Amino acid sequence: MVSLKDRDIISFRDFTKEEILYILSLSKEMEEKAHPDLLKGKVLATLFFEPSTRTRMSFESAMKLMGGEVIGFVDPGATSIAKGESLRDTVKIVAGYASAIVVRHFLDGAARLVADTVGIPVINAGDGSNQHPTQTFLDLYTIHKTKGTLDDLAIGFIGDLKYGRTVHSLAYALAHFRSYMYFISPPSLRMPPDLLKELSERGVKFQEITSLEEVSDRLDVLYCTRIQKERFADPIEYGKVKGSYHLSKATLDRSKVKKTLKILHPLPRVDEMDESLDETPYAVYFQQAHSGIPVREAILASVLGVKELD
Ligand code: CP
């Protein structure tokens, strides 16, 4: 039997295919039926060292919809970190106040450090350019829901593939499902070489290209991402790639994409995706963001050990 009781959710490297499918099945159950008292008496601490709309609010909403309570911060400057307290000491203290911790941090590996420090489940809400595993669970959930399968799909990833933590997690997860991956980016924003090596070792077939036009008619899913200004040490380097892609209804009509293509985006978007796409049948990114509730309900209920599949 699959159980994620007391587990940390840090990286997709930590999950088997069976465990991934278990969370997706439980998410469906959560979407179909309310569980208002499931987490009564439990407290979730949300520690956000970087801005967030979707991840933080959907975690908070998921917790409250299941009868739990939420504590935490969105401004570390209003905590004793501003007086010089370390991340380690901070989370040791928080672990005495909560049943689980959700942490978003600007440094790769910060969530793992938190998990290694405390004895309660820790959920990575995005660590630097590394991983964003709960986003990936809701991406997989949306792909399955809108395509009817996760298997044998041609997936295009476009935008900031170097710093995009959602891309890194999702590519790793889709390696379980025989996806063919097209990595579409400016040369300076290619996928990290060590991740490509891992994908190759796992038998994934992929191509790195610069233009969507080259492959647009082959794609089942296009995963679009923002070029993340905040990750560039040098604003001149950001200026060179800013606005590299701008998807619109007109672009897609010209590109002869499959009618069944689905476009996902973790959001927020800036200039890479036009609002003219929103009303097309391709666009599933708002549905994707709203899946954050049942998926994060499933994750919380699993790691807190209060729910198994009916
Ligand atoms: N997708 C995502 O992580 O969005 P937020 O930064 O708003 O949480």
Q: What angle do CA 136, 310, 31 make, to 5 degrees?
A: 45
Q: Which atom of ligand 1 is nearest to the CA of 56?
A: 8
Residue nearest to atom 3 of ligand 1 (CA): 55
Distance CA 143, CA 284 (A): 9
Pocket of ligand 1 from Cβ distances under 6 Å: 52-55, 126, 135, 266-268
pLDDT score at 243: 87
CA of 141 to the centre of ligand 1 (A): 16
Cβ count near 196 (within 10 Å): 18
Among 112-126, 214-228, 235-249, whose mean pLDDT is lowest? Answer: 235-249
Beta carbons of 227 and 244 less than 8 angstroms apart: yes
If pLDDT is split at 50, 70 and 90, which confidence band does 294 have? very high
If pLDDT is split at 50, 70 and 90, which confidence band does 228 have? confident
Q: Compute the average pLDDT of residues 27-46.
A: 97
If pLDDT is split at 50, 70 and 90, which confidence band does 256 have? confident
The 10s digit of each residue's pLDDT in 5-26 is 999 999 999 999 999 999 999 9
CA of 97 to the centre of ligand 1 (A): 25
The 10s digit of each residue's pLDDT in 165-209 is 999 999 999 999 999 999 999 999 999 999 999 999 999 999 999
CA of 57 to the centre of ligand 1 (A): 9
Residue nearest to atom 1 of ligand 1 (CA): 266
Q: Which domains does the chain have, with CATH numbers?
A: 12-131+292-303 (3.40.50.1370), 133-289 (3.40.50.1370)
CA of 254 to the centre of ligand 1 (A): 30
**What is the overall mean pLDDT for the chain?**
96
The 10s digit of each residue's pLDDT in 66-91 is 999 999 999 999 999 999 999 999 99
Amino acid in the structure at residue 256: K
pLDDT score at 120: 98
pLDDT score at 250: 92
Question: What's the distance, CA 245 to chain centroid?
Answer: 21
Decide if pLDDT at 309 tops 80. no
The 10s digit of each residue's pLDDT in 110-153 is 999 999 999 999 999 999 999 999 999 999 999 999 999 999 99
CA of 54 to the centre of ligand 1 (A): 5
| Share of residues in the chain with pLDDT > 70 (%) | 99
Prediction pTM value: 0.96
Choose which residue among 47, 49, 52 to substitute to test ligand 1 binding: the one with the highest number of ligand atoms within 8 A of its C-beta: 52
CA quadruple 31, 265, 261, 191: dihedral sign: negative
Cβ count near 71 (within 10 Å): 12
Beta carbons of 299 and 101 less than 8 angstroms apart: no
Residue nearest to atom 4 of ligand 1 (CA): 54
Q: Which atom of ligand 1 is nearest to the CA of 53?
A: 7
What is the Cα gyration radius of the chain?
A: 19
CA of 126 to the centre of ligand 1 (A): 9
